[in-house]
């Protein structure tokens, strides 16, 4: 009788142990056997939340970009007021040597100026007779955004006239005088300017020119 009771007790204990194992295997949110904190069943990403955008990468905004990423338009010819004066830093001689051309945004909206200029001696009243000068660009060109009333500049450096009176050119050619010059900028038209004092006196029909800049040159 005693052996039979022991066998029944052992059977009951075994059944309880099996049930406990089964119930333990069904518990939600089990932690891994190594004791790590987060369940391995938690996904790391979902298909509906990709890690990168499907949209193409847009280029970096230029200096003239607006607040919503749209670029400000080039300054129209009629929105600009142009003027010129002799530069303080110029080649030694008796001609113009160098001139600063100043552009003012006279419009009601911001706009962009950029690039190196074209330069021509003006034939007053006859644009088709303007005399194009040979321009050598110097320095980098970057867009300059002008708010209404803001200014930008560029510098023209001519082959200097030497001597007194009518002067002379070291190349042997004769100096040329222009009461006004026509300055052109990419997408912003051509602008006829006169010096504040005097005429443009130059040699050889060649010059160097900086690009338009927000920094006033000397």
- Over the stretch 44-69, which tens digit does the pLDDT of each residue have? 333 333 333 333 333 333 444 333 34
In a domain, 53, yes or no: no
3-state secondary structure of 169: coil
In a domain, 36, yes or no: no
The pTM for the full model equals 0.68
Q: Beta-carbon neighbour count of residue 90 at 10 Å?
A: 19
User: Is residue 174 classed exposed, middle or buried when 0-12, 13-18 and 19+ CB atoms within 10 A define those classes?
Assistant: exposed
Domain CATH for 111? 2.60.40
In a domain, 11, yes or no: no
Range of the domain at 165: 77-210
Q: What are phi and psi of 77, to 5 degrees?
A: -55, -40
Q: Which segment of 29-38, 65-74, 128-137, 160-169 scores lowest on mean pLDDT?
A: 29-38
Place of tokens 């042997």: 172
pLDDT digits (tens, 9 = 90+) for 153-185: 999 999 999 999 889 999 999 999 999 999 999
In a domain, 47, yes or no: no
| Residue of 159, 64, 65, 70 whose CA lies nearest to 113 | 64
In a domain, 57, yes or no: no
Residue pair 61/71 in contact (Cβ under 8 Å)? The answer is yes
In a domain, 114, yes or no: yes
CA distance 55 to 52: 9
Q: How many domains does the chain have?
A: 1
């Amino acid at each position: 009788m005693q052996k039979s009771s022991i066998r029944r007790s052992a059977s009951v204990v075994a059944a309880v142990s099996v049930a406990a194992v089964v119930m333990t295997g069904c518990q939600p949110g089990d932690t891994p056997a190594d004791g790590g904190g987060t369940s391995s069943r938690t996904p790391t990403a979902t298909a509906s939340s990709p890690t990168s955008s499907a949209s193409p990468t847009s280029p970096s905004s230029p200096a003239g970009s607006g607040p919503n990423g749209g670029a400000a338009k080039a300054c129209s010819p009629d929105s600009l007021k142009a003027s010129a004066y002799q530069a303080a830093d110029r080649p030694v001689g008796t001609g113009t040597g160098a001139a600063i051309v100043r552009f003012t945004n006279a419009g009601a909206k911001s706009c962009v100026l950029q690039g190196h200029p074209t330069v021509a001696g003006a034939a007053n009243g006859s644009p088709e007779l303007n005399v194009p000068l040979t321009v050598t660009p110097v320095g980098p060109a970057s867009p300059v955004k002008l708010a209404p009333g803001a200014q930008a500049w560029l510098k023209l450096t001519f082959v200097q006239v030497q001597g007194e009176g009518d002067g002379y050119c070291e190349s042997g050619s004769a100096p040329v005088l222009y009461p006004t010059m026509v300055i052109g900028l990419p997408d912003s038209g051509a602008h006829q300017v006169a010096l504040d004092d005097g005429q443009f006196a130059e040699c050889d029909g060649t010059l160097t020119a900086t690009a338009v800049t927000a920094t006033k040159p000397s």
